[in-house]
Structure 1
């Protein structure tokens, strides 16, 4: 099976990702274009850092009880 070469840019920010998903839903994509768009959205989703812990996010340990 030949390897698929995609030139679709991978979204970097949550806003770009959201826009890419909206475009994916409304466009009538087929074949390689469909797969390339899906892969770009998947890769962007996996690369997002939605939760960056801060000092205020820490959960108290046993010593606090």
Structure 2
């Protein structure tokens, strides 16, 4: 899940889906500080911690975290 880009923003939507019928994916729609919305796959623990309106931070080379 870790990428090289850095960003921060606010959760605008939480969702779950089984795209392949076997694995449950947890996603967040995050409105970035610049105004764009990004769909982000996150780990179960982080997904459970966050609610719409919570801040999320992603630093380069790290997984997203509550911010």
TM band (smaller chain): under 0.3
TM-score for both structures, normalised by structure 2: 0.21
Structure of greater Rg: 1
- TM-score, normalised to structure 1, is 0.22
